[in-house]
Amino acid sequence: MKSDRWTRRAMLMLAALTAVLSGCTSYVTTQVTAFSDWSGNDASRTYAFTRGPTQQNSLEQQTYEVLVANELATRAFRQVDAQQAHYLVGLSYGSKTETMSVTQPVFYSSPWPGPYWGRPLDPWGPFGAFPPAYVSQSYPVFTHTLGIRIVERATGKEVYNVMARNAGDEPSLVRAMPYLARSALADFPLGNGAVRTVKLPVDKNAGISNEAAGAPAPASPASAPVVVQ
């Protein structure tokens, strides 16, 4: 029956909309904002992590420090004891969830195929297409952030402060963190007030290991980042 065809068509439209909204992307896009007074050289790039009161004895904190340490190492930083470090590096991170709604039209054809009023070949019937119905689809958007702050240990002077932020359908900060860490330190050091968009290809093997803290560093995306000015 015609009504069955309308129902199937509406269901197909809904399925297509859902696929578009929830489909996997091939890149993780991260916005990076940096504030910089950097004048260090490679010889002075020794550092130690510093932790706030709520970060003490935290396995989550230690896990993220490993990821950031990996990225710092590729930029000639060397981790040492706090008393020997030229710089102290602090991390901040978090997630929030928002609900987004998208409304799309769904078009229906006329149930009367003709012939009527001299239009025997009109597939839409005598009145043309019916006005579209509108279907709203709600879905969650997860925003993850990582901040990296570098200060001189001896003076407490802030020399670099960078924030990386991405949003999408990934609910886990743990899975997002390798991309945040790499994006935050892409093209280090950025100029003061620099804003960049960094695209990293999705690596299904990039994630956080369940091994004990202090184990070899978790894998992070291997391909070079694409930096959009």
The whole-number pLDDT of residue 203 equals 80
| C-beta separation of 47 from 150 below 8 A | yes
What pLDDT is recorded for position 40? 79
DSSP for residue 169? S
pTM of the model: 0.69
Order of all β-strands in the sheet with 158-168 = 78-79, 46-50, 87-106, 133-152, 158-168, 27-36, 194-201, 226-228
pLDDT in tens, the chain (229 residues): 444 444 344 344 434 433 333 345 589 999 999 999 998 777 889 999 999 999 999 999 999 999 999 999 999 999 999 999 999 999 999 999 887 777 777 766 555 555 544 444 445 444 455 667 788 788 789 999 999 999 999 999 999 999 999 999 999 999 999 999 999 999 999 999 999 999 999 987 654 443 333 334 444 454 556 665 5
Q: Which domains does the chain have, with CATH numbers?
A: 25-100+139-228 (3.30.160)
Burial class, 60, CB count within 10 angstroms (exposed 0-12 / middle 13-18 / buried 19+): middle
* Strand bridging mode 46-50 / 87-106: parallel
pLDDT value of position 35: 98
208 closest CA partner among 224, 219, 199, 193:
219
Give Cβ neighbours of residue 21 (< 8 Å, ≥ 6 apart): 102, 137, 139
